[in-house]
Structures are given as C-alpha cells and as structure tokens.
Amino acid sequence: MTADPSTAEAVCSRAGCRAPATAQIVWRNPRIHPPERRKIWLACDEHAGYLRDFLAARDFPVHVEPFPASTAAEAAR
C-alpha cells in the first residue's frame, strides 16, 4: 500500500470534475504570496485553459506545465 501520493489522486481541480490531470497550473497571488511561492492546480485537458484564464483574469502570474512533470524529466535523462 505505497501508492505514490503525487499521482494517486491526480485529478482535475475544477469543481465537480474527476478527470485525470494532464496539466498543472502554476500560479501565485502577488498580493498575498511572496515571489518564491508557487501554487499548483491540476487540470484535465478540458479545464486547463479555463483555470489558466480564471487566474490570468485576476492578473496573477500563471503558466501551464505538463503533468506529470516527471515525464519530461525522464525523457531528458
């Protein structure tokens, strides 16, 4: 029973959506978070754009990365 906690519950952060996450939305709120702080929301294909736009509309720094990120790390190995 040692499921990897980083992927065991990797589902979309959109309310009511249980689709597997394929992207991570990396963002912070500059009004309350220090520059080194990073918040991460997971998102499915369908909602990655929605969540990014939701944050961008608030003038939060935001970018989207593939999920799981380890795929890219392993490819670069």
Judged by beta carbon, residue 28 or residue 47, the one nearer Zn ion is 47
Please report whether residue 52 would count as binding Zn ion according to CB under 5 A.
Answer: no
Neighbours of 4 (CB within 10 A): 9
Query: How far apart (Å, rounded) are the C-alpha atoms in residues 37 and 34?
Result: 5
Please report whether residue 64 would count as binding Zn ion according to CB under 5 A.
Answer: no
Residue of 47, 51, 52, 55 that binds Zn ion (CB under 5 A): 47
Residue of 19, 26, 56, 64 that binds Zn ion (CB under 5 A): 19
* Paired tokens of 52: 């990014």
Neighbours of 39 (CB within 10 A): 13
Dihedrals phi, psi of 44, to nearest 5 degrees:
-85, 175
Please report whether residue 12 would count as binding Zn ion according to CB under 5 A.
Answer: yes
Q: Which residues bind Zn ion (CB under 5 A)?
A: 12, 14, 17, 19, 44, 47
